[in-house]
Structure 1
């Protein structure tokens, strides 16, 4: 009896190890898209940006440091092409929190941003993504721009 129980326990352990989804979870896929988006900004890679973002995606910006607060909107296509003369942007999220279900997701990412190697500002990015043909794409972005109370350190997401 002990041998049968041990055998069954071994079988369960083996199959439970393989039952984990070998495909990347939605949350990890979404984090990968967000990180690729940040990489596209830093490398000025318009092809990579188009792979991560819908061309008609809206980008909303809230400048909290201005009085009164300024809010504006543009389309992601307005940011293309990224020109070599544009400042080099390095945007690093301090973390990325993801909620996903039924082909829609929201990613919340506090960030720090440097332009041409100098700290510029911090803020919060909120990305909305849709799963389209098995791939997650950014359909809208809203972000704040803060000039005070920023922690200029980088973080892992």
Structure 2
């Protein structure tokens, strides 16, 4: 076989494997995504203890939305009220389905940008984007802040 052809074939093989390697998330990114996934798994299960374990001390939740035809409002959500609601039995599973669009990390600070769709059981409720700020503490990545948008239209 011609050595130039062999070198070209080897180069193409190497080049074709690079995108697959570039798409694999780093261990830190995977750990951050796991924290967010655990938060939503706990919400789906109605397990407020599981959700609480993903939160940093002093975590803050904000909602950014409003009713159609009214001005958009920034609302602070009560975390203890949220955790109580999660742990209180409800007829439908709270199923927030996120996609990890972007994860940014600098040292012990991370930001997750994630479009989502929210379902009550199997019924679509609303969609938007979640923005998570996470901090790396002694016991791993914890959610320090969540802010989201909420709407019923212009979803997917």
Q: Decide: shared fold, TM above 0.5.
A: yes
Q: Is the 8 A contact 2:100 2:112 kept in 1?
A: no
Q: Is the 8 A contact 2:56 2:135 kept in 1?
A: no
Q: Is the 8 A contact 1:97 1:107 kept in 2?
A: yes
Give 1:145's match in structure 2, choosing from 150, 153, 156: 150
Q: Which has a greater percent of helix?
A: 2
Q: 1:86 and 1:60 mapped to 2: Cα distance?
A: 25
- Is 1:77 aligned with 2:80? yes
Q: Is the 8 A contact 1:94 1:110 kept in 2?
A: yes
Q: 1:42 and 1:79 mapped to 2: Cα distance?
A: 13
Task: Show the 5 A alignment for 1:1-157.
Answer: 25-66=27-68, 67-81=70-84, 82-85=87-90, 87-151=92-156
How far did residue 51 of structure 1 move?
A: 1.2
Q: Is the 8 A contact 2:104 2:112 kept in 1?
A: yes
Task: List structure 1 runs of 4+ shifted beyond 6 angstroms.
Answer: none
Structure 2 spans left out of the alignment, 5+ residues: 1-25
TM-score, normalisation: structure 2:
0.75
Question: What is the Cα-based RMSD across aligned positions, in Å?
Answer: 1.7
Count of aligned pairs between the two proteins: 128
Structure 1 spans left out of the alignment, 5+ residues: 1-23, 152-157
Q: Taking structure 1 as reference, are residues 96 and 108 closer, same or farther at Cα in structure 2, changes over 3 Å only?
A: same
Q: Is the 8 A contact 2:52 2:83 kept in 1?
A: no
